[in-house]
Structure 1
Amino acid sequence: MKKKFKLTNLDCANCAAKMENAIKKIDGVRDANVSFMTQKMTIEADDSLFDEIMEEVQSVCRKVEPDCTIQM
């Protein structure tokens, strides 16, 4: 399953790259893209694990950029 999300308060391209790299390491994630320019995130992951994966994604995003929120 591939889903796109809007990000708010993502303040720098370096943080976006850190998020993307960390998300790609989560079990079940096939691909991830975090764009600072468009403030969007695309995640491709297993359907059956998507909810658990998104919880981990939110945790990763808060660690890297505490003010950044994912619009579901």
Structure 2
Amino acid sequence: MKTYRCKMTGLDCAACASNLEHEIEKLDGVSDVSISFMTEKFAFSCEESQKEEVMKRIRKVVSKNEPDVEIEEV
């Protein structure tokens, strides 16, 4: 597994970040999810071979739950 870090902008509150964390943790192949509302940092772990598919699923979850939030890979 490899850890990936992203910037997550547009979150309204810490509770929103926590809710997204829980929803993303439910996805198959994703672990160690961490979202910081204050620093706008988002990290997760997955297999390198699954990264692109996992990112698609993460973006879908984020769009459904927090449509104003954007994820930028760094």
Give 5+ residue unaligned stretches, structure 2. none
**Secondary structure, in 3 states, of the residue corresponding to 1:4?**
strand
Scaled by the length of structure 1, the TM-score of the pair is: 0.93
Letter in structure 2 aligned against 1:49: Q
Aligned residues: 72
Structure 1 runs of 4+ aligned residues shifted over 6 Å read: none
Letter in structure 1 aligned against 2:27: I
Give how far 1:30 is off: 2.1
Give the fraction of aligned pairs with identical amino acids, expressed as a percent.
40
Q: Tell me the distance in 2 between the aligned counterparts of 1:49 and 1:3.
A: 12
**Secondary structure, in 3 states, of the residue corresponding to 1:27?**
coil
Give matches, 1:1-72, under 5 Å: 1-72=2-73
Q: Tell me the distance in 1 between the aligned counterparts of 2:66 and 2:24.
A: 13
Give how far 1:11 is off: 1.0
